[in-house]
Amino acid sequence: MTTTNNTRVALVTGGSGGIGAAVVERLARDGFAVAVHYAGNAERAEKLVAEIAAAGGQAIAVGGDVADEVAMAEAFKATSEAFGGIDVVVNTAGIMALSPIASLDLDVLDRMHRTNIRGTFVVSQLAANQVRDGGAVINFSTSVKKVALPGYAAYTASKGAVDALTMVLAKELAGRDITVNAVAPGPVATPLFLDGKDEETIERMANMNPLHRLGTPDDIAEVVAFLAGPCRWINGQVVYANGGMV
């Protein structure tokens, strides 16, 4: 299934649902061959692959725990073997658990940081060694860091680590024309955000930005597509995609 010389290739972690699926669909529309990564829902990933193929695009599904360097090395290998290389890695995979610091179960803390910090590091390390010159690495942070909402300490701490990793990697890849950035969404209407929240909380958070709505996965995919495609002069940055939330 090797692509033509002009086809760029993207691997999207967490690509089977939510923001990740929107990113996959957008990059496929932009002409990328896409590897749709999943951790636990192979059926959903395969369905997305079939939809892309039906629309004339190229896609495969690859699985694995993002924090497992062996599993993710296999996912990178499968992508390169299918399409001839990798140009863009988008690391949307992440988990969020909310709790006050005083009562957070430390096992939950460890599990979240394993995915959000170690997982991002594993994927970034593989990307640093395999993304072709002229490519892009796009990690995922969060805008909630800026507003310090109660209950979000562990999650935002993990995403603060993503910011630091992203900025350092951009400098470490100097000379290869590879951009490394992080996208920091505000509240987005996905199951990850909506789960466990009542209507009052959702409305309050929707009104934290002057557009007075939640973001959509497509809003975030638009930013990713810009960083993955035409944008070559934004590098080592955290791009806040939040409708103006401060």
User: Which residue bears the tokens 């955000």?
Assistant: 193
* 38 is a catalytic site residue: no
| Helix, strand, or coil (residue 3) | coil
Catalytic residue among 38, 152, 155, 240: 155
> In 10 A of CB 134, how many CB atoms?
12
Distance from C-alpha of 235 to C-alpha of 226, rounded to nearest angstrom:
12
Closest CA relative to residue 110, chosen from 97, 93, 123: 97
Helix-strand-coil split of the chain, %, nearest 5: 45, 20, 35
Closest CA relative to residue 141, chosen from 122, 121, 156, 119: 156
| Helix, strand, or coil (residue 7) | coil
Distance from C-alpha of 31 to C-alpha of 97, rounded to nearest angstrom:
35
Q: Residue 2: phi, psi to the nearest 5? A: -60, 135
Distance from C-alpha of 160 to C-alpha of 191, rounded to nearest angstrom:
22
By annotation, the residues acting in catalysis are 155
